[in-house]
Amino acid sequence: MAISYPLSLPATNAVSSITFTAMNAVAYARSPFTFTGEAHAYPGEMWQADVSLKPMREDDAEAWSAWLTSLRGQFGTFHLGNPFRNSPRGTATSATITGSSGDRSVSVTMTGTLKAGDYFSLGTGTSTKLYKVLEDQSGSGTLEIWPSLRADASGATADLTSPVGTFRLATNSVEWSVNNLAIYGITFAAVEDV
């Protein structure tokens, strides 16, 4: 069976920590004489993630090392989200999103609430993108999100229960360590496939 991207993470519950970074393309220039500054925000916004797996024995570790190797460095893509939060903190169980590519404020139709910090995803396959809610929203209305909308959406169904984005490895090398007790250590860095 041929490998088809994007991959899902291996089935073992092995993530011990994940650090998400919200990267923004902003130019800032400060005068060396008056110290006043000027900022310019470019449209570039991207997720970055540093993932550390729990120490594990050979069977689980080899499944992860094979998965990492199967990505062929930065070539392959995979789905990644916050493994410690698979549902919103708000009460919404479904939502639809409407907006244009580049929008930071989108129209949401839902019953219930989404809280600042909740995640959702839009799209399928390689077009799956991860978003973060920036302000509490009760009921239908305008939803503030990060990053800006990646593609036009017209009544697109938001995944609130297992939100993920499409990522690729940050480098072309993968590595893992094994100690004298046959305990494996695996970490990897990923960037959003924009």
| pLDDT tens-place string over residues 106-156 | 999 999 999 999 999 999 999 999 999 999 999 999 999 999 999 999 999
| Collapsed DSSP state (helix, strand, coil) of residue 118 | coil
8-17, 67-76, 147-156: least confident range:
8-17
Contact, 169 vs 140, CB < 8 A?
no
Contact, 169 vs 80, CB < 8 A?
no
Overall average pLDDT of the 16-27 stretch = 96
CB atoms within 10 A of CB 61: 23
Q: Supply the pLDDT for residue 12.
A: 78
**3.30.70, 3.30.200, 3.40.50, 1.10.10: CATH of 1-81+169-194:** 3.30.200
Paired tokens of 166: 């499409």
CA 146, 74, 41, 18 torsion-angle sign: positive
Element (H, E) at 186: strand 184-192
Q: Supply the pLDDT for residue 44.
A: 94
| pLDDT(1) > 80 | no
Paired tokens of 79: 């789905």
| pLDDT(11) > 90 | no
Q: Which of the four pLDDT bands, split at 50, 70 and 90, describes residue 57?
A: very high
For the chain, the straight-line distance linking the first and the last C-alpha, in angstroms and rounded, comes to 27
Q: Supply the pLDDT for residue 185.
A: 94
Contact, 169 vs 70, CB < 8 A?
no
**3.30.420.40, 3.40.50.10800, 2.30.30.240, 2.40.30.290: CATH of 84-163:** 2.40.30.290
pTM for this model (two decimals): 0.91
Q: Supply the pLDDT for residue 143.
A: 97
Nearest to 165 by CA among 133, 117, 127, 138: 127
Paired tokens of 30: 């400060």
| pLDDT(69) > 90 | yes
33 CB contacts (<8 Å, ≥6 apart)? Answer: none
Domain boundaries, the chain: 1-81+169-194, 84-163
